Amino acid sequence: MRTLLVCLLTTVLVSAQPAPATDVTRVRDVIYQKRDGFTLTLDVFKPAKPNGAAIIKIISGGWNSNHNGIGDGGWTKAGYTTFVVVHGSQPRFHIDEIVTDVQRAVRFVRASAATYGIDPDKIGVTGGSAGGHLSLMLAVKGDAGNAKATDPVDRTSSAVNAVACFYPPTDFISWIDENDGLNGVGPLATRKPAFGPKIETPEGMLAMGKALSPINFIAKTQPPIYIVQGDNDALVHYSQALRFQSKSAAAGATCEVLIREGAGHGGWKEMGEDNARMAEWFDLHLLGKQPKKPFTNGVSKLPSTTPGKK
């Protein structure tokens, strides 16, 4: 298990990335942030018939991000103006800094709502693995912005209105068992450079592990969250999603988890179906459109043809 965890989250979401339709307008390399000599960008994909809502798609694997193979993820087919965000990568930037990058991206999208023809109160976010973790951090750590900021973008809210993501880490302190993350299991051990030098002390490890675990900030006010997870995932144990859902339910928040039996860290053939279900989640919570099959706000399991055991 530990050997497998060493390669934790090294790939970007592996679901197929459909090429945008020919009637999709793409704007490349829109700058949303400049800092420390780096320029951070996003690409905008606008459908011919936009529905007025936005999806922010976070490109991240192991908290590394790049421009290779950027696509709209198929969201434009459902009418969503899609903002594909590239963030600063670890180890040059640590995860706490990367969280501020994606928060800035949300602020930029909301501040630019009129430019791109979207409703600033209809913004969803998606990602897989590390991108899923960052999606959840946006869900539980969104804020109203700094009213005293010089930059008007920083005065804008970083809150999102709905989340749908694949196999996100949710708790670095208790990776599989209670407090095992503090004792050599999971990313705090296998991804030390991503967390920065503060985790070199036991006190620092505890503080950073807590601060960057979405499960610690669950609240009734968080946006609706949908998670898809394989129960044969050797990189992110499926208990991460189950515990996040359980704590969300206890807080009175809307959170649903779909477990794919036998599925690993992406790559199962039914991921297209799962993406379609995520689109229904966004349709429901951003547009008020009821799905054909109701969501349960709980945990459900679907069989997968992917071989393997839990």
Mean of the pLDDT values across residues 286-309? 84
Q: For residue 186, is pLDDT > 50? A: yes
Establish if 310 belongs to a structural domain.
Answer: no
Average pLDDT, the chain: 92
Mean of the pLDDT values across residues 211-232? 98
Q: SS3 of 215, please?
A: helix
Q: What is the pLDDT of residues 76-93, one digit of tens each?
A: 999 999 999 999 999 999
Residue 59 phi, psi (nearest 5): -90, 110
With contact defined as beta carbons under 8 Å apart, do 81 and 125 qualify? no
Q: What percent of the chain has pLDDT over 70?
A: 91
Q: SS3 of 126, please?
A: strand
Establish if 17 belongs to a structural domain.
Answer: yes
Establish if 106 belongs to a structural domain.
Answer: yes
Cα–Cα distance for residue pair 223/217, rounded to 1 Å: 12
Supply the angle between the helices 130-141 and 95-111 in degrees, to the nearest 10. Answer: 60
Chain Cα centroid distance, residue 257: 14
In sequence order, the β-bridge partners of residue 229 are 259
DSSP letter assigned to residue 8: T
Cα–Cα distance for residue pair 288/76, rounded to 1 Å: 18
Which CATH number covers residue 21? 3.40.50.1820
Establish if 309 belongs to a structural domain.
Answer: no
Establish if 141 belongs to a structural domain.
Answer: yes
Q: For residue 277, is pLDDT > 60? A: yes
Band of residue 22 on the pLDDT scale cut at 50, 70, 90? low
Cα–Cα distance for residue pair 192/118, rounded to 1 Å: 39
Nearest to 164 by CA among 256, 38, 289, 260: 256
Q: For residue 309, is pLDDT > 70? A: no
Q: For residue 12, is pLDDT > 70? A: no
Structure tokens at 117: 């023809």
Cα–Cα distance for residue pair 29/236, rounded to 1 Å: 31
- The helix or strand, by DSSP H or E, that contains position 300, with its residue range, turns out to be strand 299-303
Establish if 184 belongs to a structural domain.
Answer: yes
Band of residue 304 on the pLDDT scale cut at 50, 70, 90? confident
Query: Taking the CB of residue 298, how many other CB atoms lie within 10 A of it?
Result: 11
Band of residue 305 on the pLDDT scale cut at 50, 70, 90? low
Band of residue 35 on the pLDDT scale cut at 50, 70, 90? confident
Q: For residue 308, is pLDDT > 70? A: no
Establish if 308 belongs to a structural domain.
Answer: no
With contact defined as beta carbons under 8 Å apart, do 177 and 142 qualify? no
Number of structural domains found in the chain: 1
Q: What is the pLDDT of residues 110-141, one digit of tens each?
A: 999 999 999 999 999 999 999 999 999 999 99
Establish if 263 belongs to a structural domain.
Answer: yes
Q: SS3 of 77, please?
A: helix
- Residue 91: asked if its preceding bond is cis (omega within 30°), the reply is yes
Cα–Cα distance for residue pair 132/166, rounded to 1 Å: 6
Cα–Cα distance for residue pair 49/250, rounded to 1 Å: 39
Q: For residue 1, is pLDDT > 60? A: no
- Structural domain harbouring 120: 2-303
pLDDT computed for residue 37 by the predictor: 85
Q: For residue 17, is pLDDT > 50? A: no
pLDDT computed for residue 293 by the predictor: 96
Structure tokens at 282: 């966004």
